[in-house]
Amino acid sequence: MSQLTFLGSCREIGRSGFFVEQNDESVLIDYGVMFTEPPSFPDMIHTDGLQAVALTHAHLDHSGGIPRILRESEASLFCTPATRDLSVLLLRDMFNISRGPLPFTRKDIALVRRQCQATAYEETVPLGHHFEMTLFNAGHIPGSAMVSVRVNGKRILFTGDFNATESQLNPGARINLPKHDIVVTESTYARRTNPKREDIEEALMDTVIETLERGGTVLIPAFAVGRSQEIMCILERRGLPYKYPIYLDGMARSVNDVLVRHPEYLQSPQAFQRAVSRTHIIQDNRERSNAVKSGGVIISPAGMLKGGASHLYFKMVHDNPKNSIVLVSFQIPDTPGAELLATHKVTAGGRLFDVKADVRQHHLSSHSDSRGMLDMLLKIPGEPVFYTVHGESESCDALAERLEKRKREAHVAEINESIEI
């Protein structure tokens, strides 16, 4: 008998994990963290007979607990080379800034590289006696993958986070997928419809040019992995005049180095290299002060103004109405970014900042919206049974209901629920 257990990411975004068992063998897909205090992880699995750990992508809600598993098992980690290198980067950063105990040591993070069997898209890998695994491009961030597992004559697709819409940085997810019997799908934006990508990019550029032409500086707080590089590519592709400098700070600098080493996961390696070449890398506080005075564009993590170098820049630009603070991602409630959008004020370090700079949001989503999600899922041949995960409870319900309206069997997965395959 084979079974699938939903370890996490059920009616929530965080601590993703899925466990597939067949007789005395098993495969784990993702094992992420949720940033509660202390950080929380899926329940620990039994690692006897574990044949492989497959990782959809590097974001910590999918990768954050992987060292815990690898320290308890000699199983190989399967993911793309870009995911391997980005995961090591993010795991080290998480370890450095964690406010609670973690179930692994800094040395254990090295196992991600040591036990990894880097896997290309479309490559089918046999695992033990009962499993086969194939990775398909997910279009979410460079190197992200959907994981397809064959077991007991059935094929299960774990979408991870996916985006069928191509961007300046990423090719879109593969949409002509093979037949599957079960699909475990994210539902992040099941209740959201995004504007056209072209329109968002145009509006972003308008804000940037308006600010620079009035003598201001543009601060773009952005996630280090994916979003910062996307902004760089948009500014280059849409021809930001060279008289306006572009600056990059924080972990995004190291992410650039990783992506330059893995150009095969980029929409246009040449365009990305041009964007990197014209970007000034910030190294210290003196350079940060000079960048603010220069009248250019500063791209800096964190994307929700919650720590990171963007916090330092915020304090330098917030009180000048010529400047702009441009948010380019969803702002989780109760973060400084969400507070800024709602009130034009930010509480930081026990101090309330009244923001005079122009505040804009141009949301460059790395997930498919409700239309794109449904369109891609309905094209999967075989009339699979769907299980919705990785979304707020209402989003998981909404996607399951929309699939059922299209005559597809769909369920909302519950934490630690097991189903027979």
Burial class (CB in 10 A: 0-12, 13-18, 19+), 71: middle
The domain locations on the chain are 2-192+366-420, 197-361
Please give the pLDDT value at position 331. 85
**What is the distance between the alpha carbons of residues 301 and 415, in angstroms, rounded to a whole number?**
32
Q: pLDDT by residue (tens digit) across 308-353?
A: 888 899 999 999 999 999 999 988 888 888 899 999 999 887 889 9
Statement: residue 304 has pLDDT above 90: no
Overall average pLDDT of the 358-364 stretch: 96
The CATH architecture one would assign to domain 2-192+366-420 is 4-Layer Sandwich (3.60)
Statement: residue 277 has pLDDT above 90: yes
> Is residue 55 within 8 Å of residue 81, measured between CB atoms?
no
Q: pLDDT by residue (tens digit) across 206-227?
A: 999 999 999 999 999 999 999 9
Burial class (CB in 10 A: 0-12, 13-18, 19+), 100: exposed
Please give the pLDDT value at position 36. 87
Please give the pLDDT value at position 311. 85
Query: Which residue shows structure tokens 């190291």?
Result: 254
Q: pLDDT by residue (tens digit) across 46-104?
A: 999 999 999 999 999 999 999 999 999 999 999 999 999 999 999 999 999 887 789 99
Please give the pLDDT value at position 1. 81
Cis before 38 (ω within 30) = yes
What is the b/e burial string over 111-147, where b = at least 16 CB atoms within 10 angstroms of the residue's CB? bbeebbebbebeeebebbebbebbbbbbbbbbbbbbb
Q: Do 2-192+366-420 and 197-361 show the same overall fold?
A: no
Query: Which residue shows structure tokens 């919206």?
Result: 369
Encoding tokens for residue 393? 């409870």
CATH 3.30.1600.10, domain 197-361, yes or no:
no
295 three-class SS = coil
Statement: residue 167 has pLDDT above 90: yes
Mean pLDDT of the residues in the chain: 95
Q: pLDDT by residue (tens digit) across 118-155?
A: 999 999 999 999 999 999 999 999 999 999 999 999 99
> Is residue 201 within 8 Å of residue 169, measured between CB atoms?
no
Cis before 302 (ω within 30) = yes
- The sign of the dihedral angle between the CA atoms of 350, 355, 358, 362 is positive
